[in-house]
Structure formats: structure tokens, C-alpha cells
Amino acid sequence: MSDNGHQQNEHENVPSRQRRRFEGISSRTYEHPADRSALVALRKLSGFDTVFKALSGLLPERSLRLLFLSDSVRVSDAQFAHLNTMLRDACHILDLEKVPPMYVAQDPQPNAMCIGLDEPIIVVTTGLVELLDEEEMRAVVGHEVGHALSGHAVYRTILLFLTNLALRVAWIPLGNIAIMAIVTALREWFRKSELSADRAGLLVGQDLKASMRGLMKLAGGNHLHEMNVDAFLEQAEEYEAGGDLRDSVLKILNTLPRTHPFTTVRAAELKKWAESRDYQRIMDGHYPRRTEDKETSVSDSFRQSAASYATDVKNSKDPLMKLVSDIAGGAGDLGGRVRRGFGGFAGGTPKDQTTPEDRTSPKDQPPRDSTPEDDD
């Protein structure tokens, strides 16, 4: 019996099916460039360091841990054993030495989070457990372990605290504005960190179809027989390219209060990364190690992130991003393009207020870009 017990302990962290393990992997391997740049911007936010140091001692983290311990189910070999196996698998694959505690909380809303200042805690809701199959859930657990490895839990915890604090001090004009400035910056980073964690989930599950199914279920529920991956991804492309400048502004306004990117956007971003050379190199064993993290240049990382933002703007099909790209490229008649993009501001320019540019005959106007849109 002792031999069997020793063998069980020896292999308790080995994945249930053969998957590649990334020994000593650095979170830089899967972090989205926008995640890194958002963190740099966040740390440069005026007053953030002071607020962070003050809040570190004020956040009710111990109370939060006691709350989950007393009113949720802690995952173990005795409770939700299949989730416990997935958690150990994920930590084994991403080489996270200390397995974070994981809880299942009663909530019909499908959700998962990784929070905590001193040590991360993973929480999944019953709605999520009931919605996803084993491989889809494995990607979600890997997603949360990716948050833990990246150190995202600290900032996520502060965001939760500040959001609640902003509601309590809403009657103080200047105090509320100051807090909301930090909350807005945190939310921008939060959304980008989700793209990073989606990649970590794929590295753990190593099944793109399962990751895509999970995202589709978050959007449309447990009705996979009624959904199609290709059609779902077409929604993301239509969302990005469709409409005019008014729609671009509305997209921004719709995104600002959210903590997660829209589900179709997450699916499209993950598929693009899975098909990239970077992903293939990781799967071949070529990736940054944690032992190299101290040697990483912050300025180089910021330049890479800035270059990524520039590339995204240049290749974006969104009307506003295309306009920004044209401005950077010195395109002419931008005033006319803005008016046309907003539909004449109010449904069209009145005839008695037409501009000389608007009265120019088609043959005198500069030729419009007729290059076909890229399908990638």
C-alpha cells in the first residue's frame, strides 16, 4: 500500500492526458503586448504607487478568504475532485510550484476570477461548472492559473475594491473623479489581461476547439448545436469593420465600463494567436524562462507593446482606427472624411451649407483607396 501511495503522490500533478509541459515558463511568453503596455501605463499613472501602498494594508483580503472558506466549497480530492485534478494539471503544465486554493461559489452567472494580494485565490461559479464540459473547463482553469502566474491577482483585487469605493464616495465630486481615473486605467489593463489569460488557457488545454466552444457558450449558453464557430468569428469581423465613425465612438463607450473584452473579440484574438508563428515556437519548446525575467528591459517591452499598438491601428478595419491611420499617414481631405463618417453629423449636410470640397465633381476628387480589404 505504501508503494501505491508513493506512486500516487509522485504523479499527482501529471496531466490526465499527454500534454506538453512548459518548464520554467515566464508569463511573458503568453502575455498580450497590450497587457504589458497597459501595466506600464498603469504604474506611471500619477499617484498610483501611493494609492497602491496605502490600499495594500487596507484591503479586506483576510475577510475575503474567510468568506470563501465559510460560504463556498473548497476544491480538493474530496470535493469537486475533477476540478482539483484540472487545477493540479494546469499548475504542472505552467510550472507553477504552489497550487492556489480554488473555490466553487453558488452563482447561476457563469464566471471565474483570480484575486488576492499575498496569495492568489481562484473562484469559479456553479453556473460556469454546469455550463462547460471537461476540456472547456480545463481551458478556463488554465486561464485563471495564467492570471496567477502573471501576478494579475493583485491589480484585480484593487480594482474590485476601488470600484466599490467609488460608489461609496460618489457624493464627493473630486474624490470620485480621482478614484474613477484609476478605475478606468485598471479596467483598460483588466481587459487586456484577459487576452493574456486566454492564451494561458490554450497552453494548458492545448485544444483550440475547446477554448472556442467555451467562449461561444459564454456568449450563447449551452446551445452548441445551434451555433457555428466560423459564423461566430464572422461576428467579430463585422463588429470591427462595420458601421461609421459614430459606431466607432459607441464601441468605445460600450467598452469603457466593462472588465472583459467582448466574447467574439476574445475568440478572434485567440484564434489569430493560435495560428501564429509565436504559438508554434512555444509548442516546440522555444519560450522565455522565468530565470531571464530580471534581465528583461522595461523600455524594450514598452517599445514592443507600442509597436504592437501601431500595427493594430494600421491593420484595423474599424472606421475610427482607419481614420487615425490616415492622419498618421498624412491623408488629405480628412475634414470631409470625418463629416462623411459621422453621416454629416445630423443625417447629412444641409444644401446651403455645403463646402467647396463637397461641391467638387467626382472626377476632380482624389481617387479613393480601392485596395481590397485583407481577409486575415
Phi, then psi, of 121 in degrees rounded to 5: -125, 135
CB contact at 8 A, 263 and 219:
yes
Beta bridge partners of 113: 123
Q: Mark 261-279 as b/e (b = at least 16 C-beta within 10 Å).
A: bbbbbbbbbbbebbeeeeb
Q: Got the DSSP string for 39-73?
A: HHHHHHSTTHHHHHHHHHTTS-HHHHHHHHHHHSE
Cα 133 from Cα 125, distance rounded (Å): 14
d(CA 26, CA 120) in angstroms, rounded, equals 17
Sheet holding 102-105, edge to edge: 73-74, 102-105, 121-125, 112-115
Cβ atoms of 149 and 114 within 8 Å: the answer is no
Is 144 among the residues known to form the active site?
Answer: yes
> Most distant CA pair in the chain: distance in Å?
94
* Amino acid present at 244: D
What span, in angstroms and rounded, lies between the C-alpha atoms of 2 and 98? 25
Catalytic hit among 31, 61, 144, 194: 144
Q: 488557457: which residue's cell? A: 201
In sequence order, what DSSP letters do the residues of 216-238 get, joined into one string? HHHHH-S-GGG--HHHHHHHHHH
Query: In residues, how long is the chain?
Result: 376
Q: Write out the catalytic residue numbers.
A: 144
